[in-house]
């Protein structure tokens, strides 16, 4: 495996009794890239995230992490926001983040927590109980919880859900900042393609559990120019019809 490949999927499948969620997926996740995972509802995006995180196990194929065949042995650090933020509603943002720091085996670091709160735009409500948060505020806190351990690979499943236009811009800028300053890898799914296109370096198009296309955004832009597609949504609709 190349030194810049952090996670590699080889013929990965995930089958349930009456459903195939993933089918022979091959994928290489490289260091310092932002991957946009795009596909219709039920395409297999969340299942793929869970398999790479070790939350769910493939029924076929293999996933390697650097030179390790088992996620339990890897030295890579992961952060994730999958499906929805898992927060204690009776705790404040500060308390939730401090609890996450304890779970990660980190010492109580007020500097980390305060910087996260400020960066993600929750400073004015940091002492407010989460049960009184709007959906967008919970999403912001969920992202902060996912990055508290400074992960090498960050998984974000529809992180823009519930955010107003200002919140979407704030989160986009925040993710750009942690990507470019730390050369981290981000894998993000979203149905807001115009916004996703402002952030990613690579695209992964998936449908019915199969990866239809995995390539750099620059390659897509070249095809879009040649085919006279006006935006990423038009390109997506052409790909997803395959």
Span 169-224, pLDDT tens digits: 888 888 888 887 777 899 999 999 999 999 999 999 999 999 999 999 999 988 88
From residue 102, alpha-carbon distances to 106, 108, 118 in Å are 6, 7, 20
CATH superfamily of 1-76+197-230+238-242: P-loop containing nucleotide triphosphate hydrolases (3.40.50.300)
pTM of the model: 0.93
Could you tell me which of 83, 106, 14 has the C-alpha nearest to residue 52? Answer: 14
CA 64 – CA 181 distance, rounded (Å): 26
Average pLDDT, rounded, for the chain:
90
CA angle 34, 109, 92 (to 5 degrees): 85
How are beta strands 34-38 and 202-207 bridged, if at all? parallel
Confidence band, pLDDT 50/70/90 cuts, at residue 242: confident
Contacts of 55 (CB under 8 A, 6+ apart): 82
Q: Per-domain residue ranges for the chain?
A: 1-76+197-230+238-242
CA 85 – CA 78 distance, rounded (Å): 16
Could you tell me which of 105, 138, 102 has the C-alpha nearest to residue 121? Answer: 138
pLDDT tens-place string over residues 18-55: 899 999 999 999 999 999 999 999 999 999 999 999 99
190 with 158: CB under 8 angstroms? yes
Of 115-124, 153-162, 214-223, 226-235, where does mean pLDDT reach its minimum?
226-235
CA 120 – CA 142 distance, rounded (Å): 10
């Amino acid at each position: 495996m190349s030194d810049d490949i952090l996670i590699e999927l080889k013929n990965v499948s995930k089958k349930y009794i009456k459903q195939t969620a993933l089918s022979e997926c091959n994928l290489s996740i490289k260091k310092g890239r932002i991957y946009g995972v795009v596909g219709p509802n039920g395409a297999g995006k969340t299942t793929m995230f869970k398999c790479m995180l070790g939350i769910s196990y493939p029924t076929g194929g293999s996933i390697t992490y650097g030179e390790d065949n088992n996620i339990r042995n890897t030295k890579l650090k992961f952060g994730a926001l999958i499906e929805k933020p898992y927060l204690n509603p009776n705790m404040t943002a500060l308390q939730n983040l401090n609890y996450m720091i304890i779970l990660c085996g980190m010492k109580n670091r007020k500097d980390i927590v305060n910087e996260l709160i400020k960066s993600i735009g929750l400073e004015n409500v940091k002492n407010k109980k989460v049960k009184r948060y709007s959906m967008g505020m919970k999403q912001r806190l969920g992202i902060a919880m996912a990055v508290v351990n400074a992960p090498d690979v960050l998984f974000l499943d529809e992180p823009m859900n519930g955010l107003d236009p200002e919140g979407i811009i704030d989160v986009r800028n925040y993710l750009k900042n942690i990507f470019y300053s730390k050369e981290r890898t981000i894998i993000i799914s979203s149905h807001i393609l115009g916004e996703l296109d402002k952030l990613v370096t690579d695209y992964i198009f998936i449908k019915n559990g199969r990866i239809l296309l995995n390539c750099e955004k620059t390659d897509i832009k070249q095809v879009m120019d040649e085919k006279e597609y006006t935006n990423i949504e038009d390109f997506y609709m052409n790909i997803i019809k395959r």
